[in-house]
Structure formats: C-alpha cells, structure tokens
C-alpha cells in the first residue's frame, strides 16, 4: 500500500516536473493595480496594456494581475507574491507603490520591476510615466476656442506636480488663443469619488464655467456636462459614451506600446533600468477623436497635436511667468524635465492659490 502511494506520488511529481518546463519557457509578466480594472480610467487603461502584451506576444508570455491593491504593506505582500510565483517582469502601476517596489526588488535581484509615475530607480527597477500635459495643452486651446463665457472648470485631485503641470499646461494652451481666459480650479482631495466629482462639476457650471476638465478618475463630470449642455474633456480613457454631446476629445493613456517594448526587452535579454517619460510622439499619450466642435477648431487641434508630436512645439516653451509674476522659463528656452517633475507653482493666469 505504502509502495503504491509512493509510486503515485512519484508519478505525480514526474507529471508536475514535466509540466513545468514548458510553463517556465514563458515569461511571466505581473501587474499590480491600485484600483479595480472596472474603474474605466487609470487601472482600466493599464489593464488594456496588459491585454495588448498578451495579444502581441502570444505564447511567449503569460500575464497575471492583482487589482485593488492598497498602498503600504498590502502592496509589498502582493508584489512579493508575484515575484515568488516566478514572474520575470512586474509592473507596479501607481505612484504609491514606489517604496514597496524598491524594497521587494532588493530581495529578488533577478526579477525586473517597472514602477509607474515615480522618480526612484535601482538596478532592477525602472520607472515610467507619460507626458499627459501634452494633451492638456491641446485641450486648453480647444477650450479657449469653444468657451462662450471664457471660463473653464478644472476638477483636480491632489496638489502633486503631476496634477499641477496639467493645470499649467491647460492654461498655457488656452492663453495662446485667449490671453484673458479664466480657469477655476476645485480640489476634491480624492482620486475617485464619483459623487463628489459630480458635485464639483455642478458647482463649477453654476459659477459660469462652460468647459469642464478633470484630473480625477471617474466619468461623473462628463455625464453632468452632457446633462447640463456644456463641454468636457475625457480623462484617461475615451468617455464619449458618457458624453455624446459633451466630449470634445479625451486624453487616452495608452500603455500598450511601452509594455510590449519592455516585455520584448526582457525576452531578448537586453532590459535595462531606465526612466521613460514619453508622450504623443511614442503614442503613450493619445487623443480621442475631436468631436462636437466646428471643423476649423478640430483642424487647429490636429495641427497642435502634429507639432507636439514632431517636436516643434513644447507646451512649456518660454517665456513662462509664475502666478506672482516672476519669470520661470526665459524666452527661447523650453522647461527642463527636472523642474517640470517637481512643479509646485501656478503659471500666471490661474485663479486661486495652490494648496500646499
């Protein structure tokens, strides 16, 4: 009896070990998301990137993901688990995962890590982000053309450089069309609260804004804009379904090209730790169709998009003045990435004070 059990166990072991090599041939790529993939925004777009990797590379890869991972110890646990499950490449897709990623990466030197929107790297941790501000500059120009009241409302999340540079880029774009364009910024202190985003949208419309734009994750503001007959810009993903009459365009986070490129690099053995910050040129930032606007405005938007894409236009080209009137970027120069990534001041023309 004991023998029989022994041989069964042996047989099983053989089957398992025979089964593993083919699985080990595949590169396992792990993804950690901060939100549910059903948020139709930030995490959803990262997951679209994951699906693109699977589609492009077929049986060479196997992808796994963990969604709704909280910052802190939970994140560390989730990343460690993926590393233990023999993932060769792990994408951690939110700012708050920076420290846990670096910590886990130290323990698994052979695993490659990629952290989104952070600023710290190590030998096996690369960082990547997208130049969303390029899209916001185009949005600003469209807003100034389309607005009757000359006031746009901006629903902002937290006063971090990423959000501040978006606000500045938007107003700089708008000022090229209408130097007196006004921007009302409302901070909701949350990335994701559809109710509060809707409230902010209504308040801004009540105060005369006829264009809404946001740096929060839900589709609520777009829906309110559609209801109240004002225009809005989609955020992170194409939100035209929620605002068929309202959406002018949307800034789409398109992680697919980057994810495919980096996965290929690991497969080819030439992966290196880099800081990637790409935008329209590389296709990491994409603009949705220009809708609900006259042809000349759509043409202007497409022209600006083309100029940013081919590098002849930088949204933060000097001269740029801070809100208090001091010169931030001299004429004839573009802002460097360093000050841009640490941006904690409003440009001239933004109303209100930046919360610290």
Q: Which residues bind other proteins (CB under 8 A)?
A: 35-36, 38-40, 44, 153, 159, 184-190, 192-200, 202-209, 218-220, 223-224, 227, 241-242, 351-353, 355-356
Least distance between other proteins and beta carbon 175 (Å) = 18
Smallest separation, CB 235 to other proteins (Å) = 13
- When the beta carbons of 125 and 230 are compared against other proteins, the nearer one is 230
Phi, psi of 261 (to 5 degrees): -60, -45
Report in angstroms how near the CB of residue 290 gets to other proteins at its nearest: 21
In the complex, the smallest distance separating the C-beta of residue 164 from other proteins, rounded to whole angstroms, is 13
Structure tokens at 82: 């993926």
Looking at the Cβ atoms of 106 and 351, the one nearer to other proteins is 351
**Bond before 319 cis per omega within 30 degrees:** yes
Distance between the two ends of the chain, CA-based, in angstroms? 73
Which residue's CB is nearer to other proteins, number 203 or number 293? 203
CB closer to other proteins, 105 vs 143 = 143
Q: Residue 43 CB, nearest distance to other proteins (Å)?
A: 10
* Block residue for tokens 């490129």: 261
Q: Which is nearer to other proteins, 95 or 277 (CB)?
A: 95
Give burial (CB, 10 Å; 0-12/13-18/19+) of 25: exposed
Instruction: List alpha helices for 93-146, DSSP H.
Output: 98-107, 132-146
The residue (of 139 and 218) whose beta carbon lies closer to other proteins is 218
The CB-of-194 to other proteins minimum distance in angstroms stands at: 5
Q: Please say which residue, 83 or 239, places its beta carbon nearer to other proteins.
A: 239
- State whether residue 42 is helix, strand or coil: helix
Rounded to whole angstroms, what are the CA distances from 249 to 222, 224, 225, 240?
Answer: 11, 16, 13, 8
CB of 222 to other proteins, least distance (A): 9
- Mention every residue, 6+ apart, whose C-beta is less than 8 A from residue 25: none
Min separation Cβ 198 and other proteins, Å = 5
- Count other Cβ atoms within 10 Å, centred on residue 4: 8
Pair of tokens at residue 193: 């609260």
Give whichever of 277 and 345 is closer to other proteins, judged by the CB atom. 345
149 token code pair = 């009241």
DSSP 220-277: HHHHHHHHHT-EEEEEES--TTT-TTTEEEEEEE--HHHHHHHHHHHHHT-----EEE
Which class for 346: exposed (0-12), middle (13-18), buried (19 or more C-beta within 10 A)? buried
């Amino acid at each position: 009896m004991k023998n029989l059990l022994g041989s069964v166990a042996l047989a099983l072991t053989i089957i398992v070990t025979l089964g593993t090599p083919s699985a080990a041939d595949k590169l396992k790529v792990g993804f950690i998301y901060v939100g549910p993939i059903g948020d139709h925004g930030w995490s959803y777009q990262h997951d679209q990137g994951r699906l693109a990797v699977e589609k492009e590379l077929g049986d060479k890869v196997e992808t796994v993901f963990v969604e709704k991972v909280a910052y802190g110890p939970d994140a560390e646990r989730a990343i460690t688990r993926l590393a233990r499950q023999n993932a060769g490449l792990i994408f951690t897709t939110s700012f708050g995962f920076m420290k846990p990623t670096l910590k886990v990466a130290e323990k698994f030197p052979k695993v490659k890590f990629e952290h989104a929107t952070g600023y710290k790297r190590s030998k096996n941790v690369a960082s990547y982000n997208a130049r969303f501000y390029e899209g916001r500059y185009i949005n600003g120009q469209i807003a100034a053309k389309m607005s009757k009241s000359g006031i746009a409302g901006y629903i902002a999340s937290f006063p971090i450089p990423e959000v501040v540079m978006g606000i500045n880029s938007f107003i700089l774009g708008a000022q090229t069309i209408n130097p007196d364009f006004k921007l009302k910024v409302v901070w909701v202190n949350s990335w994701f609260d559809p109710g509060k985003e809707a409230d902010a949208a209504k308040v801004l419309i009540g105060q005369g804004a006829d264009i809404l734009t946001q740096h929060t994750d839900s589709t609520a503001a777009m829906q309110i804009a559609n209801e109240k007959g004002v225009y809005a810009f989609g955020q992170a993903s194409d939100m035209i379904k929620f605002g068929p009459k309202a959406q002018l365009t949307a800034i789409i986070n398109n992680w697919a090209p980057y994810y495919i490129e980096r996965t290929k690099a690991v497969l080819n053995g030439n992966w290196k730790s880099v800081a990637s910050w790409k935008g329209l040129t590389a296709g990491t930032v994409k603009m949705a169709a220009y809708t609900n606007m006259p042809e000349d405005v759509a043409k202007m938007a497409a022209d600006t998009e083309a100029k940013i894409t081919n590098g002849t236009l930088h949204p933060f080209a000097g001269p740029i003045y801070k809100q208090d009137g001091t010169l931030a970027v001299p004429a004839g120069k573009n802002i460097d990435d360093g000050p841009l990534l640490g941006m904690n001041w409003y440009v001239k023309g933004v109303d209100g004070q930046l919360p610290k």
